[in-house]
Amino acid sequence: MQIKEADSKIAERIAVMDLGTNTFHLLIAEVKDGNITEIVKDHEAVKLGEGGISKGFIQPIPYQRGIKTMEKFGREITAHNVGKVKAIATSMLRNAANGRAFIDEVKATSGIQIELIDGQQEAAYIYQGVKASGCLSVDTSLIVDIGGGSVEFILCTQSQILWKQSFEIGAVRLMDRFHQTDPIPHHAIEDLHQYLNDVLQPLFIATQNITIGKLIGSAGAFETFAEIIELHKSTVFDVKRIKSYDFELRDFIDATNTIIRSHHTERAAMKGIISLRVDMIVVASLLTRFVMEKLEIHTVGMSTYSLKEGVLAGLVADQ
């Protein structure tokens, strides 16, 4: 999938929304003869899981943030004469007791029909998005998508998915459970490692006797890792203008070590960390490093394409 700058030609316009636990994303694209032109790319830090993810309930303030964001997205869709709309909801709306009420209210106020998908479908879309970025190869890779509510692992090559699974261990859930003191204490890290060792047994079983050439992080926290590293080098770097990125292992280890050892105020002052990720980046770092060490992966990359680009690629393929 190749995204180009917008031009003035009339073509079908498609809107895709990825409604995650932390962030709601909107992508509007124009499609003509199989070519995809980005028109709008927007996101809002809705933080739908704030104060309620461990209770399985969307609290009133984030609930209203979500409604207002969907109304905003609805206005964007109308203003750009979009012909096809697909809104995908994942972990928080899947599991929240009032998730259905939220979906119904969004339909009533914005006209957008939200589709709930399960973790397996979520992982399949993520694979298609990462594949569209061009960073997969004939070698076996492990895609890791760290959301606020869930984490998806996809064992794959550029031609097929070998295994995939979604785990309800997203950064918001892990932070609520293990990161209560800052900097995160050693005993909390040990508890987190033991928890991951237990919960991720299906991953470890699936990868037995398989050599994984590369871990590929899907957007989110991995974009933050890349920005921290490149800005620290004083490199001119705009993550929005790239589709994929390869980390130097030493840089990645050093950056995540710094994050794990840091205090909130230190992270807030770091160039490259957006406010939404100032605290969640700690457990995202610990999760990634644990999986790398457990599976003996020494090569790390990143795709800026993820679920919404995978959904878009599927819609274009179906035309």
At residue 235, the pLDDT reads 85
Residue that is written with structure tokens 């932070």 in the block: 175
Strand partners, 126: none
Select from 295, 303, 293 the least CA-distant residue to 203: 295
Residue 230: inside a domain = yes
Domain of residue 243, CATH code? 3.30.420.150
Does residue 156 share a domain with residue 108? no
Strand ranges (DSSP E) for 187-279? 214-218, 244-246
Residues 143 and 255 grouped into a single domain: yes
In angstroms, the first-to-last Cα distance of the chain is 14
Which CATH number does the domain housing residue 109 bear? 3.30.420.40
| 52 compared with 167, residue with greater pLDDT | 167
| 38 domain-assigned | yes
Q: What is the pLDDT of residue 147?
A: 95
Helix (H) or strand (E) holding 294: helix 280-295
DSSP designation for 12: E
Question: pLDDT-derived band of residue 6, with 50, 70 and 90 as boundaries?
Answer: very low
pLDDT tier at 4, thresholds 50, 70, 90: very low
| CA 117/CA 93 separation, integer angstroms | 10
Q: State whether 256 and 164 are in the same domain.
A: yes
**Residue 267 in domain:** yes
Residue 137 lies in a domain: yes
Query: Same domain, yes or no, for 99 and 145?
Result: no
Q: Where are the beta strands (DSSP E) in 169-232?
A: 214-218
pLDDT above 50 for 280: yes
Q: Buried b / exposed e across 82-95, counting CB within 10 Å, b at 16+?
A: beebbbbbbbbbbb
Which DSSP symbol is given to 185?
Answer: P
Amino acid at position 106, single letter: V
Average pLDDT (234-243) is 88
Structural domain of 80 = 3-116
Average pLDDT for 302-308 = 97
Residue pair 32/11 in contact (Cβ under 8 Å)? The answer is yes
In this structure, are 108 and 125 located in the same domain? no
In three-state secondary structure terms, 87 is strand
Q: Are residues 258 and 110 in the same domain?
A: no
Would 201 be classed as within a structural domain?
yes
Q: Is residue 180 part of a domain?
A: yes
pLDDT one-digit tens code per residue, 26-84: 999 999 887 899 999 999 999 999 998 989 999 999 999 999 999 999 999 999 999 99
Say whether both 205 and 92 belong to one domain. Answer: no
- Note whether residue 316 is domain-resident: no
Of 92, 116, 140, the residue that ends a domain is 116
- Tell me the CA distances in angstroms from 292 to 86, 204, 259, one per residue in order: 34, 11, 17
Same domain, 70 and 43: yes
Which of these three, 81, 100, 116, is where a domain ends? 116
Domain-located, residue 296: yes
100 & 194 share domain: no
Tell me how many domains the chain contains: 2
160 three-state secondary structure: coil
Give the mean model confidence (pLDDT) for residues 245-251: 97
Gap between the Cα atoms of 123 and 152, Å rounded: 6
Query: Is the link from the previous residue into 60 a cis peptide, with omega within 30 of 0?
Result: no
Q: Which of 69, 88, 116 is the last residue of a domain?
A: 116
Q: State the Rg of the chain over Cα.
A: 19
Co-location of 265 and 225 in the same domain:
yes
Same domain, 128 and 275: yes
Is 78 found in the same domain as 60?
Answer: yes
Of all residues in the chain, what percent carry a pLDDT higher than 90?
A: 90
